[in-house]
A and B are shown apart, each in its own frame.
Chain A
Amino acid sequence: MEIPYTVSARRDTGLFNSKVGIWLFLASEVMLFGGLFSGYVFLRAGVRPGVDLPWPDAVYVHGPFIWLGFLNTLVLIASSVFVVLAWAQLKMRRYGMYQFYMSLVLVCAAGFMVVKTIEYNSKLNHHFGARLSDGTLLDGALVADDSHHCPGDYVTFEADKAVFSLARTGIFRKLDPYFLDFAVLKGGEEMVVNAPGGKQLKGVAELSAWLEEYAAQNPREARVTAGFAKPVTFQFRRKDVFGKRVFPDRVPLFRGNELQGKLIDDTVEIEVHTVDLQMVRDEEKSLAWAYLGEGYKAGYEGHKKEKLNDPLHRRFLEKGGTLPGGQLRIWQHPHPAGEHGGEKAAAGGHGEASAAHGSSDGHGGHGAPVVSIKGSDIHFMGAHGPKFGTYYAIYFTMTALHGLHVVGGALVLAYFLFFGRKLYRKNPEHLANRVEVGGLFWHFVDLVWIFLFPIMYLM
């Protein structure tokens, strides 16, 4: 049995099967990316100024990424040209030239992914921001700390009591070992627990045995509280605790376990490149100045005046225009954010950095102020990864999906390149059809990028 019209076109539709198939598939891809673009528009239009995190048009974070995006646009356009040239060569039955152009396509695809990796790496590992409880947004970089791999979000807590959950969760009815895992990892191996009933339990093993026993004897109890013989100091990361929140007197852990005691330290050190006050009601009283010092406040005022005196701005304001929200409420370090290894200039130039909080001790290497922010002042913080607001969410989702399409398309085209000769000998037209269909997909991927570039990097 043979399926008709795999190579030649059916006369009334004028199409061979895989061409119908690929166009249908592309139609569904249009809806896929259409859905994502709709999400982009919906989220962006839904940003409530002053409440939600602003999108980057107002905050100028695109910086160097514009050039990476630009480069990738050119790379993809070139690859699109190469793929259609490869097809044309095949149609002219020049297999060697086909191989040449198809290899160029793959080189472009690899180049695209390399640039993408650089970009992701920079966003995920070098940019960091924190939204403070009054709405102030401090943006910059986490201060590197040799002792921890990922610094900044370490919390030290001195516990004198612990609540152990006895809930047997799930269908396996296991006692949840979470607390014990946590204790082992975070420095609790040495702990001594005073169990109710006067027993003293040393270390994790005894504790776990006792918990099992206790749970068996008290099937109706949900949790049991026990004190430590002497306070135990735990050091852990916020992501290890439930809801990523610690309180001055307690740390909720997963599945209803809890530590009680005293919070020792949960400060976060940030090298500040940008202060964004769009979400703050009263700029004068922003927490930023408490951390950075009055010198920076003066700098901010100066910057604002400067902006208003800028001829372009002034002309626009005189014509009755209003500046978009963020323009006037952002102060940026004069040695701009984004690239590390800038010059080692003295801090600011806007008066003295607050000696108490700020220092330019060479962490970042370009003189931006460094502040230690109390955990309780932080509403939300993170690297410029997908978590950091809806812009980053849609940026990473869309570019990653697009990247997957690039990889998928490249794999298919590589298959045609490296394993095409046999089919070419048998039926060159069949190979040409396949390359045409693969090429259609590749052009579509390019087409998506043509829209992604301006909306993700330029606006």
Chain B
Amino acid sequence: MESSTEDLQKHVRTYLMVGATLFVFTIVTVLVRTVPFFDFGVPGVDAPDIAFGLVIATFKSSLVMLIFMHLNHERGLIYKVLVFTVAFAISLMGLTLFAQGNPIRPHADVIEHLHVSDVTAADVESKAPGAKAEPAKH
């Protein structure tokens, strides 16, 4: 990167501005979470809140990457490495989530028979032999 003193001084101003922006957006996220007036949707945390929080976090992190980490003018090689890395990270998260959301469900008759959809902690516990006074040996 070019390094004349004037350039660097200009950069320093940019860094300070970016820092200030990051501060402001942090405050905004916290306000949305803590002050009911700013809350979207249902009180408490819900999908819009999560989306909003993540969008802001993504925005903040891209500022850090682009400005502080100089990714706004970096060599092609590094972009290539990062693009693949991010793709794999996303595939890890996405495909595991996909796998979790697409299980083999028992046949409807079986569900009715087993009441699988209706298991509660109490059921689980009541099946625990240890919970009843006399422990059973399997």
Contacts and interface: CB of A to CB of B under 8 A. Distances in A.
Whether A and B touch directly in their complex, counting CB atoms under 8 A apart, is answered as yes
Nearest to A62: B33
Given A57-B44, A81-B16, A281-B122, A458 B23 contact: no
B121 interface: yes
Contacts of A73: 26
Contacts of A135: 120-122, 125
B98 to A, nearest CB: 11
Chain B binding surface SS class = helix
Contacts of B108: none
Given A35-B92, A77-B22, A134-B122, A443 B97 contact: no
Nearest to A322: B42
Contacts of A1: none
Contact of B11 (A88, A379, A447): A88
A459 B30 CA distance: 11
A251 to B, nearest CB: 12
Contacts of A91: 3, 8
Interface in B12-35: 12, 15-16, 18-19, 22-23, 26, 29-30, 33-34
User: Which of B22, B56, B68, B88: most chain A CB closer than 10 A?
Assistant: B68
B34 to A, nearest CB: 6
Given A14-B75, A443-B69, A450-B64, A45 B19 contact: no
Chain A binding surface SS class = helix
A454 interface: yes
Contacts of A70: 26, 30
A133 interface: yes
Interface stretch (A23-31, A166-174, A334-342, A361-369): A23-31
Interface string B92-113: 1100110011000000000000
Contacts of B75: 13-15
A271 interface: no
A20 B15 CA distance: 23
Interface residues of A, number: 69
Interface residues of B, number: 62
Interface in A380-410: none
A74 interface: yes
A316 interface: yes
A279 B23 CA distance: 39
A45 B97 contact: yes
30 contacts: A23-B82, A34-B88, A38-B97, A41-B97, A45-B97, A57-B44, A57-B45, A58-B44, A74-B23, A78-B19, A80-B64, A81-B19, A92-B9, A133-B131, A134-B122, A135-B120, A247-B133, A280-B121, A280-B122, A312-B36, A313-B42, A321-B42, A327-B43, A376-B131, A454-B54, A455-B54, A458-B33, A458-B49, A459-B49, A459-B50
Interface of B: 3, 5, 8-9, 11-12, 15-16, 18-19, 22-23, 26, 29-30, 33-34, 36, 41-46, 49-50, 53-54, 56-57, 60-61, 64-65, 68-69, 75, 77-78, 81-82, 85-86, 88-90, 92-93, 96-97, 100-101, 119-122, 124-125, 130-131, 133, 135
Given A15-B77, A51-B124, A84-B68, 10 more contacts: A31-B92, A42-B96, A91-B3, A92-B5, A135-B125, A248-B133, A313-B43, A327-B44, A453-B57, A454-B29
Interface of A: 13-15, 20, 23-24, 27, 30-31, 34-35, 37-38, 41-42, 45-46, 48, 50-51, 57-58, 60, 66, 70, 73-74, 77-78, 80-81, 84-85, 88, 91-92, 131, 133-135, 245, 247-248, 279-281, 310, 312-313, 316, 321, 323-324, 327, 376, 379, 439-440, 443-444, 446-447, 450-451, 453-455, 458-459
